[in-house]
Structure 1
Amino acid sequence: MTDRETVEIEAAAFRRLRDHLMLQRPDVQNIELMILAGFCRNCLADWYREAAENRGMAMTRDEAREAVYGMPYAEFRARHQAEATPEQLAAFEARKR
Structure 2
Amino acid sequence: MSEDRERSEIEAAVFRRLVEHLRARSDVQNIDLMNLAGFCRNCLSNWYQEAAEERGLALSKAESREIVYGMPYEEWKSRHQTPANAEQQADFDKNKPQH
Q: Which residue of 2 aligns with 1:7?
A: 8
Provide the identity percentage. Answer: 61
Q: Which residue of 1 aligns with 2:17?
A: 16
Amino acid at match of 1:15: R
- The 4+ residue runs of structure 1 with deviation greater than 2 A are none
Q: Which residue of 2 aligns with 1:50?
A: 50
RMSD of aligned alpha carbons: 1.2
Deviations 1:15-38 (A, max 9, x none): 000000002x11100000000000
- TM-score scaled by length of structure 2: 0.93
- TM-score scaled by length of structure 1: 0.95
Amino acid at match of 2:62: D
Q: Supply the distance in 1 between the matched residues of 2:58 and 2:95 (Cα, whole angstroms).
A: 33
| Structure 2 residue ranges without an equivalent (≥5) | none
Q: Supply the distance in 2 between the matched residues of 1:7 and 1:94 (Cα, whole angstroms).
A: 36
Q: Which residue of 1 aligns with 2:31?
A: 31
| Structure 1 residue ranges without an equivalent (≥5) | none
SS in 1 for 2:95: helix
Q: Supply the distance in 2 between the matched residues of 1:92 and 1:44 (Cα, whole angstroms).
A: 18
